[in-house]
Structure 1
Amino acid sequence: MNEGLIDIELTRLIAAYIFVLVLILIVKVRKISREKQIAIATMRMTIQLILAGYILTYIFDNPHPLLTIMIIMIMEIFAIRNVFKQVREKLSKQMKSIITVSMLSGSLASLLYFNLIVIHFSPWYDPRYFIPIAGMIIGNSMTGITLGVKTLIQGFSASRARIEGALMLGAEPREAAKPYVDNAFDSAVLPTINNMLGMGIVFLPGMMTGQILSGISPLLAIEYQIAILLGILGSVSLTVIIFLLLGYRTFFTKDSRLNDLG
């Protein structure tokens, strides 16, 4: 027992894996070939979280600005790599560079503003605040930009003839690309907006639930959750719009013709 929080013993934690077995049974009965992926995902999740727990325990007990910065950079690198993997379409070096710049500039700018202005904890590198908040902001920015990249590429691929027609009629690349850029932005931010619409009524978010279970006042937990959600919304919006404003240009040549790929 820790400050009112019930400690989940190892045997009871193992019992939670019954839900994984139920899922494997369902896909096996339905003949959906996902058993291996489910097993691998479960093992990776378990190992990664255990390692993260030990690493965070060490960092929390030995706070240092360089350690905090190193962890944030590792998170950014893995997030950017995940975007490349999840998009699956072939990405040019220029597009990869734009994704990298957008992720770093959008998420880090939002993270620093949120930590230094909104929460304003001291010292500024306190890992107990910095790292969990960074995880939420960077993770959601990663999801947003992934959706944005996929939707933009699919839009240009499916509407190539229409875009070329607009260019032939005298439209500038910015004008010809606008519907597809707007659609990509809408697709990228919609999951965050939907979460905000259902939060507090349909479900309680994980951070707020964890704080309440640990004994913190629900009102204080709500304050933090509202602030975090607004920070996530700002980070996703900024990251995605930077990518889109730079990324759509890779679909066009210098003389305003349409490329085969971005």
Structure 2
Amino acid sequence: MQMADLGDIRLHYRIDGPEDGAPLVFANSLGTDLRVWDKVVARLPAGLRILRYDKRGHGLSDAPEGPYSMGTLVRDAERLMELTGFREAMFVGLSIGGMIAQGLAAKRLDLVRALVLSNTACKIGTREIWADRVAQVKEGGVAALAEGTMQRWFAPGFRGTAEAAGWRHMLERTPKAGYIGCCEAIAGTDFMTPTSGLRLPALGIAGSEDGSTPPDMVRETLELIPGSDFKLIRNAGHIPCVEKPDEYAAALSAFLAAQGHGL
């Protein structure tokens, strides 16, 4: 178990792969921890150096009381990459992790060589939607959102599986302060202007059944970045890396190869 002490926060992280491998960073979604990438990492080409972490308020990282800002979440990723020596990395961000990716790329092009924006957008939802979600969590805990979240996260065929039950348990055990803090960070974020100024290789990934960031929302964000690519994974919801790891890993591997990153 590896913990990064960044002064004001301690983040749990994991590094896999050789020290001289091409750097690849993963940032996960709201209500999940770094295990969301397990099946994809196992399917990627050998020789990559892979950093995964639990953002503040999630997994084994500290969960301070909020509110959190997106700038703080971006700064956490920035400091963790500096601490662990990850530079010129391909950064893969899922949902809120994709917002972190956009903010980091706009701020530190020395750290981010290419972007994969998965099931995300430059702006997600409205302040009213996030305020309602925060109110529900304050009243009933994260478990109050579980049923609706499962419907957005996974396609119908996956929801009844034993594995889906495990992901639901993970969601329900997310610290209340961390979940609320990240909701507030999303609510206050609109990256349309900085993302439209990005000039780096970018791939968008969407799930056809995603109830949180539908494919058109993901596509519209990628269209802000000239020359970007887009991949639709069918019969998958908001977390296709869990439901369709073979297709997800294949899309990442093809993008890695196209950029000559580690291959």
| Superposition TM-score, scaled by structure 1 size | 0.28
Higher strand share: 2
| Superposition TM-score, scaled by structure 2 size | 0.28
